[in-house]
Amino acid sequence: MSVLFDDVKGGLELEPLSYDVTATTVVLGALATRDWRPMHHDYRFATERNGVRDIFLNAPNQAAWFERYVTDW
């Protein structure tokens, strides 16, 4: 679906966008933004030191995915 700016109105719903996120996706995203912090690629560090359930996407990648979602709308 492609929507022109003038056609955007309050309450307009975005179509769902799904993407399978794997450990490889998370690691490559961190590498692409030169984010070498281990919580993005080292499972043990992420879970034991940070207390989270798994490695996770960094903020620049989350922002990029959001931008893609909005611009591909």
CATH of the domain at 66: 3.10.129.10
Q: List alpha helices for 1-73, DSSP H.
A: 23-32, 43-44, 59-71
Q: Which residue has the tokens 């989270």?
A: 52
Q: Is residue 1 part of a domain?
A: no
Q: Is residue 5 part of a domain?
A: no
Residue 55 lies in domain: 20-71
The pTM for the full model equals: 0.73
pLDDT at residue 1 is higher than 70: no
61 in Cβ contact with 46 (< 8 Å): no
For residue 14 the two structure tokens come to 């975005």
28: exposed, middle or buried (Cβ count in 10 Å: 0-12, 13-18, 19+)? middle
Domains in the chain: how many in total? 1
Convert the pLDDT of each residue in 8-60 to its tens digit. 889 988 888 888 999 999 999 999 999 999 999 999 999 999 999 999 999 99
Amino acid symbol at 45: F
Q: Is residue 39 part of a domain?
A: yes
